Structure 1
């Protein structure tokens, strides 16, 4: 095999966790940037993305420290957490790829009704009002509302929802396989002896 040695396993595992750290910092940065510039006003959405980013950051940090120090306990818990994350991510990614149009419509309507701030963000960004019908006596943040030329948001959202779900599902599926790679590397690396350590030491 091309990467059977202790040093190669260590460097590959470190590189994988550095990528995870960069992805987590990117998630946190994008969420904070969107909130700062008013692109996303929903605190739940921003808080959720930042929370996932922070969780990924600490998991990757634990994996990086475990790989550098060849720390058996850290590597074991890192492997277990990575396995649980893989199960959740693979399930969500598969659901995103398998969801049909009726299920999309139902989920979009539930999400629409549960967050007033999300409604406002969507109305401003895609220039529409209401989900299935426009209420002329209601309030709407879209520019078209002043001219009474707004269309309902449901159709416009559904045009993009399928593409977004397939993109998210594809990206999630790709990263879930990198987690499988991380678990395999961690398992191998834990059972390898450090050539610089005492040859009689038990690992």
Structure 2
């Protein structure tokens, strides 16, 4: 059987979905590990990572079952959802790679504003810093954050801002995230292509007169 045949397409699609299942389980496991060891105490962050892992796991299961049974409806929904995920992830990855320092500061400010006091204190304790950025537009908020800060650096009398510490490695982190996301987005478009190709192929074991 040549590589472009029915069996090869099925095996390739099954293998790709097994990889997606492993990535989904890894995300769920990492979130549970981080929560168990107290690395991340925010239920929102834990819930978000677990939700992404469960979503990826469910999509992979649908694709795996559809590939094993050559199920037309499941393969159709699988490739549509995977294509939507590809568009979203491709756009986010390109945005990460193209983001400059000014845009990074704006993103940090907007994200910091969405955090409650408990999440801010948790982040400050983990990074050993206080406040986000000491800029004119948010000076009052920065002063309140400094007063509520309980990081270890306060005992030493000198604390760096969390924004400066995060921006130091933000460019490198965004490049890594963008590169990894871009790589996985191309595996997703590969999955869509395989699903379309496999869905339109005829099962050699089926009735030749059956419509597939």
TM range (shorter): over 0.9
* Gaps in structure 1 of 5+ consecutive residues: none
Task: Report the counterpart of residue 78 of structure 1 in structure 2.
Answer: 78
Task: Report the counterpart of residue 30 of structure 1 in structure 2.
Answer: 30
Measure, in 2, the Cα distance between the counterparts of 1:162 and 1:125. 20
Alignment of 1:101-112 (within 5 A): 101-112=101-112
Task: Report the counterpart of residue 129 of structure 2 in structure 1.
Answer: 128
Equivalences, count: 203
Measure, in 2, the Cα distance between the counterparts of 1:88 and 1:201. 37
Measure, in 1, the Cα distance between the counterparts of 2:123 and 2:174. 17
Alignment of 1:79-94 (within 5 A): 79-94=79-94
Measure, in 2, the Cα distance between the counterparts of 1:34 and 1:63. 29
User: Are 1:98 and 2:107 an aligned pair?
Assistant: no
CA-based RMSD of the aligned residues comes to 1.7
SS in 2 for 1:138: helix
Q: Residue 167 and residue 117 in structure 1: after superposition, are their counterparts in 2 closer, same or farther (change >3 A)?
A: farther
User: Are 1:182 and 2:183 an aligned pair?
Assistant: no
Per-residue CA deviations over 1:166-187 (Å, capped at 9, x if unaligned) read 1111111000000111011111
SS in 1 for 2:205: coil
SS in 2 for 1:38: coil
Measure, in 1, the Cα distance between the counterparts of 2:204 and 2:73. 20
CA contact (8 A) 1:128 1:142 kept: yes
- CA positional deviation for 1:2: 5.8
Per-residue CA deviations over 1:63-95 (Å, capped at 9, x if unaligned) read 000000000000011010011001110111111
Q: Report the more deviating stretch, 67-76 or 108-117.
A: 108-117
TM-score by length of 1: 0.94
Q: Residue 32 and residue 185 in structure 1: after superposition, are their counterparts in 2 closer, same or farther (change >3 A)?
A: same
User: Are 1:161 and 2:170 an aligned pair?
Assistant: yes
TM-score by length of 2: 0.90
Q: Report the more deviating stretch, 14-23 or 40-49.
A: 40-49
User: Are 1:142 and 2:151 an aligned pair?
Assistant: yes
